[in-house]
Amino acid sequence: MADTELQLTVNGVSVTVPDDGASLLTVLREWLGLSSVKDGCAPQGQCGCSTVLVDGQPRVSCVTPVRRVRERAITTVEGLEPDEQHRWSEAFCATGASQCGFCTPGIVLRFAGLRAKGIEATDRDAVGRALAAHLCRCTGWQSIFDAYETGATPVAAPSDRPVRDLVAASDRATIEGGVAQRVDPSVALGQAGFADDEAPGDALVAVPAADGSFVVAESAADAWAKSGKTQGRRTTSECRPPLELPEGDWVRTLRTSWVEPAYLEVDASWCRPGGEPASPLANGGAFGAKTKSPVGAVARRLADKHGRPVRVLFSREDAVRQGPKRAPIAAGLRSDGSAVVRDVGTPHVEEAMRAGWGASAPIDIVRVEAPGPSTSVALRAAGWAEAAVLRSAADDAAAVTVTDPVSGGGSARVEVEPSGAIEVVVRGGRPLDEAVLRSYCVGAVHMGLGWVTSEGLSVDDDGEIQDLTIRSFGVVRAADLPPIEVVIEPDDRDPRRVSDAVFAATAAAIWHHQGFPPDWPTGRSSGSTY
């Protein structure tokens, strides 16, 4: 073997690769075509999506130079024994632990390693510690804990398993996610139809350059090298609400910050010359954040220009800089229930807020100028959730009920117990599939909790985002999630979305539980998330 080559074993097969400084992630995805290994934040190494097993031990491949694993055994989910693949894919599907499925291949490998070590199925402390290396935006963690318990327990005989309608489950997921979604065991193994996984092997690769143009090269590594950008910046800048409160005699006030949607699958598309670009929305809607992503249009333009298929890839920093954020507000609530809300001029926010408040809304919405990133009401319940939170504060009730004014009447009642446990009661028409419905509700609780306590972006006085690493967004980790109980009330109506109502009601209930602190996120300065 030449000095410029390395040998390693991947999924039981000996392979020789160039010793050119590439990461293990690059070798596995770009050179060997193992699409289960996902790139959620490379080269930050913070989301866990690129996790593989090296000699049976979990390793984040995006920050592992391949020369460090020479002559080692690498396992991706493609290399797990068939019965092991089946065990985890079925467990994740049965418990609702894979929604978009982007983060789950890395978690499956983590769980396979835990099971090999003999970690008990019910040892949630050990599982929570193991999950510290991972982020999941969709499921809210609780269903992932359940998946480990299910997958690490001896499998029941096929005749003992309940028959499940996966078409109905997919229908419920589509209702909650807002775009077509598939529920299937294969989703947990990373086979959910992500655009970058399905691009042709001969495609050119385009990435954003430092000046805003796109660099096109024969490979992703070459494109990133030519882009002139340094990825993976961190910041210690303070996250603070940017807007001042309106003047008034207020009984409650609230200021929020810009919030990053923090979806894990960064924007990607590809297109053939004269063709239609692949949608950056795969098995999930990115909480509304990708509806206007430019990657598809760029892929079409560059494919036509070069006469070849072109992949367009965003890094995590690109997605943060270019994607829309949840807008900050500054609001005051009077004793008569009327309110004044200051907003940064998000298009259509007034309609959204009035929908959340009610038809005869005693609310004045004032647009103010504030430098910062773009905002959008396409994000989860944007505008009307803020209104619902403020309206609930006027009632001063510990249990908060919110009805989604957009989806046609899905409702949620949320209460935080003195212990911190969260109880959710939902009515969303026929459940179709209770595992999926519960998973989406728990995920919405997770997001609502984070919105109040830990999520926010540091933005400087010039409007430049300072938080560019995925951990800096403040997404609640597995070990910090309180117990959550979801009760599905009987409801014979046609199915309708309910998770957005859960998100808004959770935020309101957490705010009440904490004593209505005026600035969100409430726990960033102290380091606490709850």
Taking residue 490's Cβ as centre, other Cβ atoms within 10 Å add up to 7
Q: How far apart are alpha carbons 63 and 207 in whole angstroms?
A: 20
Single-letter amino acid code for the residue at 427: R
Binned at pLDDT 50, 70 and 90, residue 212 comes out as: confident
Q: How far apart are alpha carbons 365 and 356 in whole angstroms?
A: 13
User: What is the share, in percent, of the chain residues with pLDDT greater than 90?
Assistant: 84
Contact (Cβ atoms closer than 8 angstroms) between residue 321 and residue 459: no
Single-letter amino acid code for the residue at 30: E
According to DSSP, the residues that pair with 310 across neighbouring strands are 204, 271
What are the strands, taking DSSP E only, across 317-443? 329-333, 339-343, 363-367, 400-403, 411-416, 422-427
Contact (Cβ atoms closer than 8 angstroms) between residue 176 and residue 499: yes
Which has the higher per-residue pLDDT, 38 or 358?
38
Q: What integer is the mean pLDDT of 239-263?
A: 94
The answer to whether domain 5-75 and domain 329-513 are alike in fold is no
Single-letter amino acid code for the residue at 303: A
Nearest CA to 412 out of 502, 280, 289, 525 is that of 502
Q: Please state, in angstroms and as integers, the Cα–Cα distance from residue 284 to each residue in 139, 194, 289, following that order.
A: 12, 10, 11
Single-letter amino acid code for the residue at 330: A
Binned at pLDDT 50, 70 and 90, residue 158 comes out as: low
The chain-wide mean pLDDT, for the chain, equals 92
DSSP structural state of residue 519: B
Topology (CATH level 3) of domain 79-193: DNA polymerase; domain 1 (1.10.150)
Give the rounded distance of the alpha carbon of 289 from its chain centre: 10
Contact (Cβ atoms closer than 8 angstroms) between residue 100 and residue 264: yes
Q: What integer is the mean pLDDT of 304-312?
A: 97
Which has the higher per-residue pLDDT, 154 or 454?
454
Q: How far apart are alpha carbons 413 and 427 in whole angstroms?
A: 9
Binned at pLDDT 50, 70 and 90, residue 528 comes out as: very low
Q: Does the pLDDT value for residue 232 go beyond 90?
A: no
Residue found under tokens 């985002």: 465
Nearest CA to 19 out of 69, 60, 83, 57 is that of 69
Contact (Cβ atoms closer than 8 angstroms) between residue 209 and residue 302: no
Spatial CB neighbours of 419, under 8 Å, sequence gap ≥ 6: 483
Six token digits for residue 274: 């004269």
Burial class, 138, CB count within 10 angstroms (exposed 0-12 / middle 13-18 / buried 19+): buried
Six token digits for residue 165: 């309608």
Contact (Cβ atoms closer than 8 angstroms) between residue 8 and residue 23: no
Burial 240-273 (b: 16+ CB within 10 A, else e): ebbbebbeeebebbbbbbbbbbbbbbbbbbbbbe
According to DSSP, the residues that pair with 332 across neighbouring strands are 253, 340
CATH class as words, domain 329-513: alpha beta
Whether the full predicted model's pTM is greater than 0.85, yes or no, is yes
- Label residue 30 left, alpha or beta by phi (over 0 means left) and psi (-120 to 50 means alpha): alpha
Residue found under tokens 């510990």: 398
DSSP structural state of residue 215: E
- Reading across the β-sheet that carries 214-217, which strands appear in turn? 214-217, 204-208, 310-313, 268-271
13-18/57-60 β-pairing: unpaired
The reported pLDDT for the residue numbered 414 is 98
Give the rounded distance of the alpha carbon of 77 from its chain centre: 21
Q: How does pLDDT run across 97-125, given as a tens digit for each residue?
A: 999 999 999 999 999 999 999 999 999 99
For the chain, the distance separating the N- and C-terminal CA atoms, rounded to the nearest angstrom, is 55
Topology (CATH level 3) of domain 5-75: Ubiquitin-like (UB roll) (3.10.20)
51-54/5-10 β-pairing: unpaired
Contact (Cβ atoms closer than 8 angstroms) between residue 295 and residue 194: no
Nearest CA to 284 out of 498, 99, 143 is that of 99
Q: How far apart are alpha carbons 385 and 246 in whole angstroms?
A: 20
Domain ranges of the chain: 5-75, 79-193, 197-230+267-314, 329-513
Six token digits for residue 23: 């990461």
Q: Please state, in angstroms and as integers, the Cα–Cα distance from residue 236 to each residue in 250, 289, 471, 487, following that order.
A: 33, 25, 12, 40
Spatial CB neighbours of 501, under 8 Å, sequence gap ≥ 6: 381, 402, 403, 404, 407, 410, 411, 412, 426
Q: Does the pLDDT value for residue 526 go beyond 60?
A: no
Q: How far apart are alpha carbons 122 and 217 in whole angstroms?
A: 49
DSSP structural state of residue 323: S
Q: How does pLDDT run across 420-451, given as a tens digit for each residue?
A: 999 999 999 999 999 999 999 999 999 999 99
Question: Three-state SS for 66?
Answer: helix
The reported pLDDT for the residue numbered 229 is 73
DSSP string, 190-253: T-S--GGGSS-TT-EEEEE-TTSSEEEESSHHHHHHHTT--------PPP---SPPPSS--SEE
Contact (Cβ atoms closer than 8 angstroms) between residue 502 and residue 411: no
User: What is the share, in percent, of the chain residues with pLDDT greater than 70?
Assistant: 95
Q: Does the pLDDT value for residue 128 go beyond 90?
A: yes
- Quick one: which H or E segment has residue 14? strand 13-18
